[in-house]
Amino acid sequence: MDTATLIIPTAVLVSLTYIVSLFLVFYRFYLVRTGAVHPGYFKLNKGGKPPKRHEALEHNYSNLFEVPTFFYAIVAIAIASQHIDETLVILAWVFVGLRIVHTLVHIAYNNIIHRLTVFFAAYVAVGIMWIRVVSDILSASGS
């Protein structure tokens, strides 16, 4: 399959990360402008307590640099090794879709059970991606 089939879901996940980061920056400006948080708080994230929505947004932004790194790595390996098939592309879209849902749950109402369920499903999807690509590469090399 064409590499674009994996680049597109990857670009969507990168876009999600940018959207969350921009939302976080604008929300911080709003908090400072309205006096809800002192500007000095953001030097070290100490010296006050920001609203829970800010904490959820900040944690979600951090989350977008955790498990998604497994996704970015396996996409790069799949493209470099030309081990792209329809199932891998479907799994990529499933992972990205679940990360979008995870973000929405995290910043909208933050139900831990819902968030954990979506997180685990995404974790399984990227794990299956790894198993498929690595096993394809090993079987192609004769190992």
> Domains of the chain by range and CATH?
4-141 (1.20.120.550)
- How much of the chain, in percent, has pLDDT values that exceed 70? 99
Q: What is the pLDDT of residue 38?
A: 84
Q: Which residue has the tokens 């390996």?
A: 77
Q: What is the pLDDT of residue 134?
A: 97
pLDDT tens by residue, 31-81: 999 998 888 888 777 767 788 889 999 999 999 999 999 999 999 999 999
No. of helices (H) and no. of strands (E), the chain: 6, 0
Q: What is the pLDDT of residue 143?
A: 61
Mean pLDDT of all residues in 112-117 = 97
Residue length, the chain?
Answer: 143
